[in-house]
Structure 1
């Protein structure tokens, strides 16, 4: 009897995973209106989620009618068991369904060049929750994203002050697509494609520590700060790109605190100009602080208890918000939701 229940649970979880993997078909260039689904948040703890799965299994009609709920419970179980991070297969082929195979090359920062065009979905949600600040300590932003009248050109990223030799770290999990040197521009630079759909660029480094096609995890050292290329002093030029097109990093990250401004960022086809690198996604819609979400960057010596006390909440609430347990190991530089 016990083995039969275990088998049924495994089958149920498999079906749930298949259900959660389904994605809608997108029409390029056309915004699709979707009805707002009522969502019941899945249980934060594994035992409750498994109990809910078993309850749905016991009711055949309920099982079929609640396929979406079953998928949510399955995701909660996977995340609480540590399966929420990017798999080795995802890292080996990051965002391949979005970018396609032909865009993986080291010929240009924008992977969609010449006759190669991006197939842009009507909307794409970028997960920012795993962001790690690219330096070991918060530094002053010297120059923001935007058009520079003085130089009559666009500045596609932000410039963060560094010392020569400072460690530069990967912002998200991903794989290195380009390592190159541009004497009149980026100097020694790195482009990493991530599993969340973004590519990030790190420029003016004194030395690059990784190689092309190397897998990196968020927070891994990838370069040392410098002032190579067209640079007037040591700084990190940091860019965030979606299908080759620049997004203002300030729309994604609060560089005063080093944490994401939102958990998820919505990129819309209506804001995409073809990925030619001459423009940018000026302001894609996003779920920001207006929803009450507040993030905190984990520091050396932090525990769930100290974080909870600092923000006037409880450890149980933090665990529920982040789908973690009280025994989860906190990684310095990662972000955690506190509201």
Structure 2
């Protein structure tokens, strides 16, 4: 299967007429979406050839920080929900089904339940490091007219997926000017549209047919709401520098069941295309997380902690004060005052004298 993006050169995306958006209440679109589920190059600005850091580490209480922790696997309760309420917010357990077409009839071959959460980036409780099997995701499906597009018209990377001090940067920063168009990478449904002032700023998260989710951070403005069906290449927002950001850029993440993946393993950003039309998910993709945990633990162990506490009492010297008068006032000896203050015999007004 060949993606319609020519290798070795940058393809300029054409502006398309606005496409009709199908909300989750649209039975035809929703049924089609929820029925289907598929079980490092460093690039810099060509004009400067200088890597530009534009992303700051998020605060610990931000969505960006909370989204990176993998929780132990936990079996979900089986609850059937009406999927017409997906755009109303909150977390739900949504019934999913895999079907095949046999003799003009759709036959269900598998049934399962998946979380639909419009508030939390990583609600899945899945630790990618524990995957035992290799999962092959078909990123594009030309027969169904599902293609891949780049999120921006040009994609120079200003900061890579990887370490920032003792913390990890879970996406790639792509350079843009405030107001530039940001587009959906694949067909799918918007799961989150939210403000994260201490991290991502205005951001969107889209769940795609192929099992991948993509996140678009620091937007000046988001144009779609949760439950909106979007096509690859559809305008979903305008780039900016909102949230914890030091300059205009798009923070772009790729995730599988909440687990961040290095976008450069999927995208050839300089050549403006996918590396392949399919992508394999293995536990090795998430091995970096153990390294990140060790680094965080090491940083905490080097942080100075108090081993004792004490209360210090001082007296501000006034004209005419004597050591004996000060000692009597505070109920201490003159000898103690001298030990604490270097055996001083001259009291200079305005200075402080340690009492205890």
- What TM-score results when the alignment is normalised by the length of structure 1? 0.50
Matched residue, 1:109: 121
Matched residue, 2:279: 265
Matched residue, 2:303: none
Q: Does 1:177 align with 2:191?
A: yes
Q: Among residues 74, 82, 91, which one is paired with 2:33 in the alignment?
A: 91
Is contact 2:127-2:259 (8 Å) kept?
Answer: no
**Number of aligned residues:** 190
Matched residue, 2:170: 156
CA change 1:121–1:173 in 2 (3 A) is farther
Following TM superposition, by how much is the alpha carbon of 1:258 offset from its aligned partner in structure 2, in angstroms? 1.2
Over the aligned positions, Cα root-mean-square deviation in angstroms equals 3.2
Distance in 2 between the 1:184 and 1:207 partners? 17
Matched residue, 1:54: none
| Structure richer in helix, relative to its length | 1
1:1-339 equivalent positions in 2, closer than 5 A: 89-92=31-34, 95=37, 96=96, 101-113=113-125, 122-129=133-140, 130-135=147-152, 137-149=153-165, 152-269=166-283, 271=285
Is contact 2:34-2:97 (8 Å) kept?
Answer: no
- What TM-score results when the alignment is normalised by the length of structure 2? 0.48
Is contact 1:201-1:238 (8 Å) kept?
Answer: yes
Unmatched 5+ stretches in structure 2: 2-27, 38-95, 99-110, 141-146, 294-356
Matched residue, 2:344: none
CA change 1:146–1:195 in 2 (3 A) is same
CA change 1:196–1:223 in 2 (3 A) is same
Please state whether the residue corresponding to 1:199 is helix, strand or coil: strand
Unmatched 5+ stretches in structure 1: 1-40, 42-85, 280-339
Distance in 1 between the 2:213 and 2:112 partners? 14
Q: Which has the larger radius of gyration?
A: 2
Distance in 2 between the 1:88 and 1:140 partners? 35
Following TM superposition, by how much is the alpha carbon of 1:234 offset from its aligned partner in structure 2, in angstroms? 0.6
Is contact 1:92-1:175 (8 Å) kept?
Answer: no
Following TM superposition, by how much is the alpha carbon of 1:123 offset from its aligned partner in structure 2, in angstroms? 2.2
Distance in 2 between the 1:233 and 1:94 partners? 38
CA change 1:252–1:138 in 2 (3 A) is same
Is contact 1:92-1:215 (8 Å) kept?
Answer: no
Is contact 1:91-1:215 (8 Å) kept?
Answer: no
Is contact 1:168-1:224 (8 Å) kept?
Answer: yes
Matched residue, 2:24: none
Following TM superposition, by how much is the alpha carbon of 1:112 offset from its aligned partner in structure 2, in angstroms? 1.5
